[in-house]
Structure 1
Amino acid sequence: MTSEITYAEVNFKTESKSSGTNSKSLSDPKKKTSPHRSNPSFPKLLLTSLLIFLLLLAISFFIAFVKKDWSCCPKNWTSFESNCYLISTTSVSWDKSEKICSETGAHLLVINTKEEQEFIIQKLNENYAYYLGLSDPEGKNQWQWVDQTPYNESVIFWHEDEPNNPAENCALLLFRPTTKKWGWNDIPCSEMQYSICKMKKIYI
């Protein structure tokens, strides 16, 4: 009889221990395992980044478009490419002409290309001559532009046999009836002539 009781006690303890172990396993969340799942926020983050990139790209294109196309010249000025031009209606000396231009934020006409020369002469009156922003202060045939643009020998439009006088230190644009052509001519800077001002377009 003693033997049976002992067995029963052992058996009870074993069951209790086993039951306690199972209970602990089921109630302990730290030991639960779940299958690996991808982060659900990753696609949203990728989509947001893409939308921001596209928005910035659109803004950049818009700014570039506005800068290119929304430009203007002051009233009464003529537009050509990225510049504005104003043809004077009074005749003054070369120095006075340059001063008048500088007071408007411009300078006397500097011609950089054949296309620019062709554009300008279409706007001029053949009966007048117009000062350029080109001078030879020392009379050494060292011509220079008022805006410090290099004097390019490949882009010059002097009339034949011009310049021809070291005492004539300023250049103007005039029409010669004999050749029926516009071209540059040297002239004393004190001569009263018309002029052309040039400035960069205003960008909004």
Structure 2
Amino acid sequence: MKALLILIGGLAMAFAISLDTNDKYAKMEMDMATDIEADIEADIEINSNNNMTATPLEDIDLEYVHKECFPWGIHEYCYFPHTSVSWGDAETICQRWGGHLVSINSKHERDYLHKRLYRRPDYWIGFVDNSGTNTGYQWTDGSGGFTFWHGGQPDLRGQQMCGRVWAHHGTWDNLQCWHGQRVLCKQFLRI
């Protein structure tokens, strides 16, 4: 990714040197190259620091928000790739959609989701510890039993009480609930 940035930066610089300063169209093209470079840098920052700023729920038009849905067994999952919200707002989005934040109840289900979302940003799961003890995690849909914590997780008892998946590893950690993360919902298939 850094090599791509260097290449784009080099191309933009070479393009700027050859510009006639009075050519407004050439300047517009240079601005576009700079915007692309800034977008790539932002993507690198998001991917290296998945604790994004949460967008307030009232700023999201749920009727038109982009989502990618896919079935598995008797369930359907919907991933909201461009929506970064707090854990509570993520659960609200899923309930409005007709489900809950995803519960992962077997290694088989975990493996399926990991293959499907491996190259995506991290996302909230419906695992929450309302007791603040790091031992009281429960699924919002009432299912449960299976866990796939990353080594040393959960940590920071009483501070980080909401579960997320590190999409690249497929393992879980706990995070402060106000952080912004992507949303993965799960519901029963409608027949």
TM-score, normalization by structure 2: 0.60
Larger radius of gyration: 1
Distance 1:164 1:77 in 2: 32
What are the ranges of 5 or more consecutive residues in structure 2 without an aligned counterpart? Answer: 1-66
Question: Any idea what the Cα deviations from partners look like across 1:147-204, whole Å, max 9, x if unmatched?
Answer: 1124x1xx2110001001111000000046xxxx32000000000000200000111x
Distance 1:102 1:127 in 2: 22
Question: Any idea what the Cα deviations from partners look like across 1:88-147, whole Å, max 9, x if unmatched?
Answer: 121100000000010011110001111110111112153511100000022112001101
Change (3 A) 1:195 1:81: same
Matched, 1:137 2:125: no
Retained in 2: the 8 A contact 1:126–1:174? no
- What are the within-5 Å matches in structure 2 for residues 83-162 of structure 1? 83-89=75-81, 90-126=83-119, 128-141=121-134, 142-150=136-144, 152=145, 155-162=146-153
- What are the within-5 Å matches in structure 2 for residues 13-92 of structure 1? 76-89=68-81, 90-92=83-85
Distance 2:167 2:185 in 1: 19
Retained in 2: the 8 A contact 1:136–1:143? yes
Match of 2:137, as an amino acid?
A: W
Change (3 A) 1:127 1:119: closer
Q: Indicate the RMSD between aligned Cα atoms, in angstroms.
A: 1.6
Retained in 2: the 8 A contact 1:162–1:184? yes
> Percent of pairs identical after alignment?
30
Match of 1:159, as an amino acid?
A: H
TM-score, normalization by structure 1: 0.57
Q: How many residues align?
A: 122
SS in structure 1 of the partner of residue 117 of structure 2: coil
Distance 2:110 2:120 in 1: 18
Matched, 1:163 2:154: yes
Retained in 2: the 8 A contact 1:132–1:196? yes
Out of 164, 167, 176, the residue aligned to residue 172 of structure 1 is: 164
Retained in 1: the 8 A contact 2:87–2:178? yes
